[in-house]
Amino acid sequence: MKIVAVLYPCPEDPTTVDSRDGAPQQLLGCADNALGLQDFVEGQGHELVVTTDREGGELEENLGDAEVLITTPFWPVYVTREMMDRAPNLKLMLLAGVGSDNMDLAAAADKNITIAEQTGSNITSVAEHSVMQILTLVRNYMPAYKDVVNGGWNIGEIARRSHDLEDKTVGLVGMGRIGQKTAMRLRPFDVRMLYYDVTKLNTIDEYTLGLRYADIDDMIPLCDVISIHAPLTPVTRSLFNRERLFDMKRGAHIVNTARGAIVDRDALVEALEEGHLGGYAGDVWDSQPAPSDHPWRTMPNHAMTPHVSGTSLEAQARYAEGVRRCLQAYFNGEPIDRDRIIVEGGEIMSLSYKYAYEEA
């Protein structure tokens, strides 16, 4: 069996900082380390081809007779129906991470290809990144940092846009595992939290997390900060269009660690350039890797990062182990853990994707 894994290039120096207990950690997610799978796969009598090519090249050469494709949200292969047509042996696609929107789920269902992702592998990592970026915007950290680097000491210029997070209203869009973990991390800051999701939490969970439900269009004008944690589906694409962006409070902030295309690219740039929004941060883009001329790289008052929130060293260890478990089950002819399954048996199984595709 041939397995193709598409992973991001390793840095020149892949050395990592040892963990607190002194045990060395590996940059498992890069191509040279291959999620730690090379010996495991070969030991099972199978072939693992690892490439950084996201299209053409080695990917095209090997996908034609591959049975399994492994990709990530951070260096994604955009698996279209046409690409699946050119891979007649493909039976399983594994996402080393969470969020399978880079794959045509309907086409995979039509072709009876199973898709599984590593549910829960990066909940903490993304939630922490979200809170960090909220504070980065609210406290006006980026201009302060740049001021120091450039030799300045412009206290007034920085302080005039710096606020406490305490007593602010934060809206959370999407209340899955990451949304809930973000709410847990935010609660000690004594903020008012509203949330929107297609499915409401029960009353006990709302009380425990300190949340109050609101319709998205009722919530948007009330929030000082909005943090997005929804999956990208046909329904959520451009959920934050120009109308909703300009319905936000003047000076409000958005953090998006979900998917870039949930926010209208050009309308966001307009809202920031006109000074309607106070800032935007996130680490997801509407195409990845983002081209060098992507307007979000140069728009004002942003704190963007490449897609790194869910790939801390600890998260890499979790999603690498999740991929290994999926492969072991597949090799043994056993079912993959149900909570990892997105598409199986000709159906979209994940409810968050299933309902969105049906509605669309």
Q: Give the residue numbers marked as catalytic.
A: 122, 259, 288, 307
DSSP β-bridge partners for residue 263: 240
Residue 74 backbone phi and psi in degrees, to 5: -90, -25
Helix (H) or strand (E) holding 303: strand 302-304
Residue 354 to residue 234: CA distance in whole angstroms: 11
Q: Is 281 helix (H, G, I), strand (E, B) or coil?
A: strand
Q: Which amino acid is at 325?
A: R
Three-state SS sequence of 250-282:
CCCEEEECCCHHHECHHHHHHHHHCCCCCEEEE
With a CB cutoff of 8 Å and minimum separation 6, the contacts of 230 are 173, 174, 176, 197, 236, 239, 258, 259, 262
Residue 229 to residue 257: CA distance in whole angstroms: 6
